[in-house]
Amino acid sequence: MNEQKNLIWAMILSAIVVLLYFSFVSPTQQRAEINAQEEMARLKAEQAEETSTMVIEEPKSREELIARGEATRIRIDTPSLTGSFLTTGSRIDDLALKKYNATLNPEDGLVQLLNPEGGDRAAYIADNWTSVDGGSGTASAWTVVSGDIITPLTPVLLEKQVGDVRIERKLSVDDEYLITLTDRLTNTGSSETSIERKGVARQVGLADDLTNFFIIQEGPISVIDGKYHEQKYKKLKKKGAWTVKGEGGWVGLTDKYWLQAAIAPQGMPVEANYDFKFLNNKDVYETSYTTSSLTLTPGASVESIGYMMAAPKDYDMLKAYEDVGISDLSNAIGWGRLKILVKPISRALSWLGGKLGSLGLGILALTLLIKLIMYPLYSKQYASQAKMKKVQPKLKKLQERYKDDRMKLQQEMMALYKREGANPAAGCLPIIPTIFVFFALYKAVFINIDLRHEAFLGYIQDLSARDPLSIINGFGILPWAGQPEWLPAFLTIGPLAILYGISMSLMYTLQPSPGMGASDQAALQAKIFKWMPWMFMFILAGFPAGLLIYWIWNNILSFAQQYWITRKNGVDTPVDKFFRKITGKPEPVVAGEAVEVEPNSVKKKKKPKSKK
């Protein structure tokens, strides 16, 4: 009987527990599960919407994409920029540079750095807030509160709600290229909530004018925690994502002359990422930052400032933004490992070009100045080569005398070098530091945006482009382009490439030649060096005119310096022989075994007077 009572009470108590559970606990869990499911659905929808924006069925014109009216666009108009801001995803995807034409022909329009998705070479910069791990936010909607055009005098106000956080954004722009996003975040809920800021620079495909040249940085770049990092597009595609954490700086994508960057709130911890994606049969390159989560208590309000930039890599402009607090922005120029040399040389080139009124004259003046500074090192190199050239006749005699005794030949050669003060290695050591200096000058000429569309010598309208004259258009006589795109560059040699070949060939005439009995390897090297100037004439035909002018002028200065030092050491040269041949002057006197040049060495003997 007691067992039956216990069973009945157990059943009653169990029913009460089940009733209480379904009345109070279960609805709360169900609501939590429903909320979680709704949040997951929202995030998936947002990510799906973000992905859907990448769908490219058929490339449309930029004008058509801008006019579609899928979301509100706000016009941007400044002395330097023209375009529009897309409120969906808070992105700039339509921006041109007013001060830079796309080509030398103004009818081809301005340089268009950013383009909307769905067209050719889509590219944009976006800045958004999301919940923690809530996607990039590039498909989220912002509401325009006030304003219909962004100018230096008229900012625009936007608004967005992320969970319980209300975000009020002020969009403003300066006279140059910096767009500022000043955000006021307020927690309108009844509990703590966390939120993240995310900036991204994204590009579909590669630029048409990509050089793919090792000396130029083209690809993702960043400055995080005060440390600069760069990567090539090709390397990013091959190796995939890259991540670094540190104090806020900026991330971006860069070409030879242009930069698009998402700039994080300075001083705030961030995680920067480089990423490559293959979406809708398109290569997509992306750099992004994500701030550490910002937690707000109920009713709390904070301010956060981020930036966007699409701009030329002009040093003065980038340095000015560094001065107002954006970390190391001028590193976007891509100075390389020889920054300590490239940066001052590039600045000196721009300064001289400004003072002389021409970047072409600036190249000539800077090359001459560096030659003068490096004169002591070049003097040692050329003096050593002159001495080696002077002992060549004696060296040939030794090689003939001891051609069957290699050991004795080496001993006599060392003794000869010691007597004459010649050292085969002495000409190599002084040239090592000069190689770094002139490589830095070479790179400075290559990356300096001031050379773009800079005219020189009348017929050259762009020092950053190829020589417009070539054998294809009869050096300007025939009425068509000198560099057809379908023809390899080495077949379109122009006057600058020919001058380079001549000047380099003249330099090689002053080099010591291998004597009789020299090894087959030395003889082969001599033949290669003899033909090298003419091979490089074809190889360098497609290089920018500014670089060819630099090389030609450097060759001329090097030849003049080496010729003067060689003659100073009393050594005859092929150039002297050539001028004696065309002027009819007598050959120099042979003193002993070496040919020495003596002024007025050949004199007419006076006939003895006959006695009457």
Is residue 367, in this structure, part of any structural domain at all?
yes
Q: How confident is the model at residue 594 (pLDDT cuts 50, 70, 90)?
A: very low
Q: Are residues 422 and 454 in the same domain?
A: yes
Q: How confident is the model at residue 48 (pLDDT cuts 50, 70, 90)?
A: very low
Q: Identify whether the C-beta of residue 167 lies closer than 8 Å to the C-beta of residue 87.
A: no
Q: Are residues 317 and 347 in the same domain?
A: no
pLDDT of residue 473 exceeding 70: yes
Closest by alpha carbon to 464, among 207, 217, 104, 221? 104
Q: Are residues 316 and 352 in the same domain?
A: no
Q: Are residues 177 and 80 in the same domain?
A: yes
Closest by alpha carbon to 443, among 332, 315, 334? 334
Please list, in sequence order, all residues whose beta carbon lies within 8 angstroms of the beta carbon of residue 556, skipping any fewer than 6 positions away: 503
Average pLDDT over residues 580-601: 59
Between 484 and 556, residue with greater pLDDT: 556
Q: Are residues 181 and 281 in the same domain?
A: yes
Is residue 585, in this structure, part of any structural domain at all?
yes
Q: Are residues 294 and 415 in the same domain?
A: no
- Which string of DSSP letters, residue by residue, matches 531-542? HHHHHHHHHGGG
Q: Are residues 401 and 324 in the same domain?
A: no
Please list, in sequence order, all residues whose beta carbon lies within 8 angstroms of the beta carbon of residue 232, skipping any fewer than 6 positions away: 217, 218, 219
Q: Identify whether the C-beta of residue 584 lies closer than 8 Å to the C-beta of residue 398.
A: no
Average pLDDT over residues 268-292: 93
CA 569 to chain centre: 44
Is residue 89, in this structure, part of any structural domain at all?
yes
Is residue 30, in this structure, part of any structural domain at all?
no
Determine the pLDDT at residue 121. 84
Determine the pLDDT at residue 177. 96
143: containing domain: 50-328
Determine the pLDDT at residue 424. 63
Is residue 374, in this structure, part of any structural domain at all?
yes
Is residue 16, in this structure, part of any structural domain at all?
no
Q: Are residues 191 and 294 in the same domain?
A: yes
- What backbone torsions phi and psi does residue 414 show, to the nearest 5 degrees? -65, -40
**Residue 572 to residue 125: CA distance in whole angstroms:** 65
Considering 284, 302, 328, which residue would you say is the last residue of a domain? Answer: 328
Q: Are residues 65 and 161 in the same domain?
A: yes
Determine the pLDDT at residue 294. 93
Is residue 38, in this structure, part of any structural domain at all?
no
Q: Are residues 247 and 308 in the same domain?
A: yes
HSE-CB for 603 with a 13 A CA cutoff: 7
Is residue 120, in this structure, part of any structural domain at all?
yes
Give the type of residue at 36: A
Question: What is the rounded average pLDDT for all residues in the chain?
Answer: 81
Q: Are residues 358 and 272 in the same domain?
A: no
pLDDT of residue 513 exceeding 90: no
Give the type of residue at 403: K
Scan for tokens 């020299």, then name that residue.
Answer: 518
Q: List, in sequence order, every residue forming a beta bridge with 296; answer none if it has no partner.
A: 193
Q: How confident is the model at residue 229 (pLDDT cuts 50, 70, 90)?
A: very high
Domain count, the chain: 2
Report CA Rg, the chain. 36
Determine the pLDDT at residue 427. 56
pTM: predicted TM-score of the whole model, two decimal places: 0.78
CATH number of 254's domain: 2.70.98.90
Considering 296, 328, 360, which residue would you say is the last residue of a domain? Answer: 328
pLDDT of residue 386 exceeding 60: yes
Q: Are residues 424 and 324 in the same domain?
A: no
pLDDT in tens, 104-121: 999 999 999 999 988 778
Question: Phi/psi zone of residue 210: left (φ > 0), alpha (ψ -120 to 50 degrees), beta?
Answer: beta
pLDDT in tens, 596-607: 444 444 444 445
